[in-house]
Structure 1
Amino acid sequence: MPTPRPLALAVSLAAVSIALAAHAKDAEQLSTLTVTAQAATKTETPFNETPQSISVIENEEWEARGAESVQRALNYTPGVYANQVGASSRYDYIVLRGFSDGSLSNTFLDGLKLMGDANSYSSLVIDPYFLESIEVVKGPASVLYGRASPGGLVALTSKSPEFERSGQVRLGVGNNAQRSAAFDLTGPLDDERRLAYRLTGLAESADTQFDHVEEERYAIAPQLTWDITDATSLTLHAYLQKDPEGGYHSGVPYEGAVESRNGRRIDNTFFDGEEDYDKFERTQRLFGYDLEHRFNDAWTGRQKLLYLNTDVTMNQVYGYGWTSDTELNRYYAGGEESMEAWTLDNQLEARLSSGPVDHTLLVGAHYQHRETDVKWSSGSFPPLDAFHPEYGADPSGDIVTTNDERHELSQTGVYLQDQMALDHWRLTLGGRYDRVSITNEQKLADREDTLDETYFSGRAGLLYLFDNGLAPYVSYNTAFTPTSFVDIDGDVLEPMEGKQVEAGLKYQPNGSQDQYSVSLFHIEQDNVATKEQPTDPYRSIGEIESQGVELEAHTQLTDSLRFKAGYSYTDITYAKSDVDSEEGSHAIYAPRHIASVWGSYAAQNGVLEGLGAGLGVRYHADIQADRANTEQVPDYTLVDAALSYDLGQLGMDGVSARLNVNNLLDKDYVASCNSLQFCYFGAERSVKASVSYDF
């Protein structure tokens, strides 16, 4: 079957959106779905009054698709590439509008940054079972959050205590020895309903598609909400997670993975390490509180605090280039790390009027601090036959300590945002001033490098809200991204800085749950930090430009039938580079075309009542395999499916069963490449069945 061309896909999706919008006008009116851009504005702002592109994914949606990580929950979100490292689920790699620089450090939990260190192995993940929703803010958001990628950010919202008693117990099994158990309990603790709790827990493990590699996780999240008065509320929360096994995280050469090597291909289950030496173990501890006080109908104060620490052990034997017709060179990389971080956000929100203009004013003071201690080691191992591997080798020589470092980062910022409403007009203006301090101590070299800078971030957006729900808008936003990356001389790289111009159109028909949006954007980023191979030092290549268009449609045709469709065209290039072969070429990890559609059906009556089904298709095209654009990753199309049944129809109230199959056709493919030496296999077919009891 011929591959659909990108233009045809875009036209088809646009036509579908128009047809569905027309249908929504004539269909039976459904209750209005209120979606707010909480992360984009830090205030309760409706979807079609926010002058920036956002996507919100609810818990029910990703659970229906069987997504078991945050990155997989975003598989059907336009402008997002969630296959950066293929089948690996060790980290949540999320590429936004083509930018991969923030793919490990641009995640926020309940409004506060998960302070992972991208210059280490100490990046955190939150299991999606503990989340209520995920909001993707596309484009710069530094005016509210400080350091962030110009591609956008991912904001996670935790499940929170409720004052109505409920609970869930869930068990799951699947191929590759998948097995899991989870529970979620909430309710009041006193008769006056001033205290409420939530306790959520999970245990899961699997063998993974790669030989000799396992995944294992245990997590628990206790929470307590106290309505101290009718105007004051305090929520205490903790999240504890232990990953004794972190799965696979390695790549293989382009020749052998995408192209054959001497007529042979490497199997997508290939493991290039050594079972006796490979290890990844991570422990995360998060503690915090949210305090809110309403002074009156106009003024509200909030304080959010999050403390986190994590310990990581990473030992890996990995292949790096061919040494013969069949054998790969192999090396060893090890890491022992400990990270500690604080983040505090103070907010004062006011809803005021000045004549005919209504204002939602937000004033904030924000502090972040992170310390990471790292010890890295390296060595070499005997080569391995990639087509007939035999394991049991020991190091070829001594494993030596190469780095003993301490990374420190502090950021203090103050920000102001005013959202103004005048009749149908919505104007958003914001500014932020930050001071950032970075210190890298290299103990083996007895050297300390520092960076101390100040930055101003701004945003301006204008939107017109028509009575029929149409809302055209334009906006301008800036971003800055300081890191602890150092160059070959050990100097801290200058922070990356970005700016974006965006124009778009949003539409939510009155009285319906349907939502449609289209956005066009242009982003520029300076002082871009990158490296050719994972083992290379970082360098600043100059400037990246990203431009494109995104379409997204959510529609509920009937009470039973829903569709979600999306398309994104992303043209991201190295506009300026210190390497001639890179300048003007397209960035890696950035499909130029991504299209997806997911449809779900839930029978409401008749003999099929209680039965649900879902089917989705994801298409990725034009992915560069290296920075010089000498090779491409072949386009690929993936199919996902789901079946569910409410056993309450058989007298088992509260019990439901679900079957999820991702990559239904078991397509063997390469998801992406970091270079021609490191390409990543995509996930094979995953089949999982689960049974839940809700009470």
Structure 2
Amino acid sequence: MSVQASDGYHAPRSISATRTDTAIEDIPQSVSVIPAQVLEDLDVARIDAALDFAGGVVRGNDFGGLQISSYNVRGFSTGEIYRNGFPANRGTSASPDSASIERVEVLKGPSSGLYGRSDPGGLVNIVTKRPQQDAFTNVRLSAGSWDRYRSALDINHPLNARGTVLTRLNLAVEDNGSFREYVKQQRQVIAPSLTWHINDKTQIQVDAEIVRNDSTYDRGITPVNGNIKGMSIRRFLGEPNDGMSRNNNQSLQAALIHQLGQNWKVRLGHQNWHGHLRSKAAENRQPAGPDFDVIQRRRRDRDFEWHGNMTHLDFIGSFTLAGMSHQLLLGIEHEDYSSSSDFFHSNYDPNYSLNIYNPVYGAPKPPIASHTSSLSTTEIWGFNIQDQVQITERLRAQLGLRFEDYKLEGYNRITGAINTPQKKDATTPRLGFVYEILPELNVFASASKSFKPNGVDELGNSRKPQEGVGYEIGTKFGLFDGRLGATFGLFHITKENVLTSNPDYPASSIVQQIPIGEQRSEGFDMQIAGSLTRSLRLIAAYAYIDAEVSKSNTPSLPVGRDLQGIPRHSGSLMGVYQIQTTVLKGSEIGASVNYVGERPTGTDVNRLIVSDYLTAGLFLRYRPNANISIGLNVNNLFDKQYYDKFHSTTWIVPAAPRNFSLNISLRL
């Protein structure tokens, strides 16, 4: 996948929503784009902070900092992260690094009609940096609070005088401390890419990425007698002598693109990926009465490994039929994925407990009480058809249909038991229309479906997959000669076959969960991005989301209960002013604010409301000349204590207090 680079904050086109290079105003779906300029202005190495500006996206669980965070998109949790149209979230993959990111595109609503199994709220696709015609070398160095250091190198170089073979190499090295006691992280990234124009009709694109991520397994803090603020945000509840967990990931993507005549082309793409996670950690319960000063802990060791291959074959062509212009996409996809898991854990041991006010670490590790070892495989065949139709001069339609056949198998390496293979197929349609009211104003409407496997139950029987249906109406417009773009969307999404507790368990059945639950989310979200003037650029987002349980047989999660982790209101705004005259010409000053409303977690039995928060940031960038910039970022300007991620009511992740980072960028 490739698409033109963004101009500042404005991105007029998208490739993620259609797998074709399409103007965003012609796509009957909300698509939020966060260009690399936003990542640079925020001075961040991960995409979490950038996704705050997508509208309707809030942070979820990140598995103790070891993997890609899950996100809540339009009310539903998702871990669906793609990289150039290929999955980046299979296994326990490390969080994406900003070094090679050109832009992040968020597709709102069900996207199974194009991408297959996914959650109905939406998905995230990362578009990486591609080689350019002109040679350049960029160096970026940054240092921040709590001994955080990062170096990044971006080298672009044509290999021949004609510019038919282009290469680019992105490197990054991190060594980060934390405001949290004993918590640290180290990371190394290598991301080479190549474009070879074999002739006028044929080109090859190759992208690779190797990430080595060593980090402390850190679940955060836990409420004390129902009070989140009962414990210091700096308190580490793990075991320092466990060392750092290692998460190694590598992927290789290759694409062959060939022009078939004037109006048709074929695109053959392949991804191979592999990852390995090794981790030793102590995990805690909540403190219990009567004093609430001691938490019980247990030992948990993990050894996970995953490997996969995916191949796309697309035929893309344009033609005229019955007086209407068509752009047709015909695609076939095959994925072969395997995952190996060895999981060791002890019982909660009183001798391994920790006093949360006066912790003494280094207690002997409790003995392993349980070991699970499994191997699972997934094979998928998918078939796509999509037609983008120009019905009249002002009316466009997008019709899509995907048929997917998948097979899931599991093997218990402890008992030797082989689960009954789960063989299923799914058909997911999507339909949308865009009508141009004015050259600068379009309205759109769409309907689409999603599905996601629910695995097998304790007896090895296949469960019905989760199925989602989404409806959306909205508007897209451009202002100031197209420098500023905006999307507003009203949506209603339902997810069926959500796993709920089996009412017959444990009395008459060993099946613990059955797919009969239902969830519903509806609301409004928006994104505005671009330039108001030559000097002022901005990006803003807002969402109102009403997400609740709409069908349940679980008393602790009754119908009408708000879904976990979803704020009713969230919004963000960042503006940057660039000086155009005087000796400070090219220098910039920027400010940002981010608001997330209160979010519920847990069930009626153990329910907790995580408070809302409003944070602010500030940055300054001085450019003595066109090749040098020196920047200062201040994050959490007013030193707000807040919590941005959590997993149930036990593990709450506190956000960083006020902190600083200084960066220097050089163009050589």
CA distance in 2, matches of 1:606, 1:401: 69
* SS class of match (1:40): coil
Instruction: Return closer, same or farther for 1:559/1:685 CA change in 2, 3 Å cut-off.
Output: same
Residue 616 in structure 1 maps to residue 592 in structure 2: yes
Deviations 1:524-553 (A, max 9, x none): 111224799xxx987646111111101222
CA distance in 2, matches of 1:246, 1:540: 36
Contact 2:28 2:432 in 1 (8 A): yes
> What corresponds to 1:581 in structure 2?
556
Instruction: Return closer, same or farther for 1:491/1:207 CA change in 2, 3 Å cut-off.
Output: farther
> What corresponds to 2:314 in structure 1?
347
Instruction: Return closer, same or farther for 1:435/1:519 CA change in 2, 3 Å cut-off.
Output: same
CA distance in 1, matches of 2:595, 2:480: 32
Deviations 1:344-393 (A, max 9, x none): 11110001112431101000001112101110000144211112211111
Unaligned runs of 5+ in 2: 1-6, 503-510
> What corresponds to 1:377 in structure 2?
344
Percent of counterpart pairs with the same letter?
26
Indicate the larger mover: 673-682 or 150-159. 673-682
Partner letter of residue 654 of structure 1? Answer: N
2:76 to 96, 99, 106: 99
CA distance in 2, matches of 1:90, 1:113: 14
Residue 331 in structure 1 maps to residue 307 in structure 2: no
Deviations 1:412-459 (A, max 9, x none): 011100000121001111101110111111222332222100100100
* SS class of match (1:218): strand
CA distance in 2, matches of 1:89, 1:335: 12
Residue 461 in structure 1 maps to residue 429 in structure 2: no
Q: Structure 1 residue 659: deviation in Å?
A: 1.3
Residue 81 in structure 1 maps to residue 58 in structure 2: yes
Instruction: Return closer, same or farther for 1:510/1:266 CA change in 2, 3 Å cut-off.
Output: closer
Contact 1:367 1:410 in 2 (8 A): yes
> What corresponds to 2:3 in structure 1?
none
Taking the TM superposition and a 5 Å limit, the aligned residue runs for 1:136-215 are 136-215=106-185
> What corresponds to 2:521 in structure 1?
546
> What corresponds to 1:66 in structure 2?
43
Instruction: Return closer, same or farther for 1:374/1:383 CA change in 2, 3 Å cut-off.
Output: same
Residue 110 in structure 1 maps to residue 84 in structure 2: yes
CA distance in 1, matches of 2:585, 2:535: 10
Partner letter of residue 311 of structure 1? Answer: H
Q: Structure 1 residue 312: deviation in Å?
A: 0.4
* SS class of match (2:43): coil
CA distance in 2, matches of 1:558, 1:466: 25
Contact 2:447 2:471 in 1 (8 A): yes
Contact 1:548 1:570 in 2 (8 A): yes
What is the TM-score with the length of structure 1 in the denominator?
0.89
* SS class of match (2:630): strand
Taking the TM superposition and a 5 Å limit, the aligned residue runs for 1:27-426 are 35-82=12-59, 84=61, 88=65, 90-100=67-77, 102-103=78-79, 106-117=80-91, 122-246=92-216, 248-253=218-223, 255=225, 257-258=227-228, 265-324=230-289, 325=291, 326-379=293-346, 380-381=348-349, 382-396=352-366, 398-421=367-390, 422-426=392-396
* SS class of match (1:447): coil
CA distance in 1, matches of 2:655, 2:513: 27
Contact 1:493 1:529 in 2 (8 A): no
CA distance in 2, matches of 1:553, 1:199: 32
Deviations 1:52-94 (A, max 9, x none): 0000111011210122212222122211112545994743322
> What corresponds to 1:16 in structure 2?
none
1:654 to 623, 627, 649: 627
The total of aligned residue pairs comes to: 645
CA distance in 2, matches of 1:683, 1:32: 26
CA distance in 1, matches of 2:43, 2:344: 38
Partner letter of residue 580 of structure 1? Answer: P
CA distance in 2, matches of 1:457, 1:435: 12
Contact 1:281 1:312 in 2 (8 A): yes
Instruction: Return closer, same or farther for 1:298/1:213 CA change in 2, 3 Å cut-off.
Output: same
What is the TM-score with the length of structure 2 in the denominator?
0.92
Contact 2:10 2:530 in 1 (8 A): no
CA distance in 2, matches of 1:395, 1:505: 58
CA distance in 2, matches of 1:372, 1:246: 23
* SS class of match (1:41): coil
Partner letter of residue 602 of structure 2? Answer: D
CA distance in 1, matches of 2:118, 2:43: 29
CA distance in 2, matches of 1:516, 1:202: 33
> What corresponds to 1:20 in structure 2?
none
Deviations 1:7-27 (A, max 9, x none): xxxxxxxxxxxxxxxxxxxxx
* SS class of match (2:151): strand
Instruction: Return closer, same or farther for 1:254/1:518 CA change in 2, 3 Å cut-off.
Output: farther
Q: Structure 1 residue 33: deviation in Å?
A: 5.6
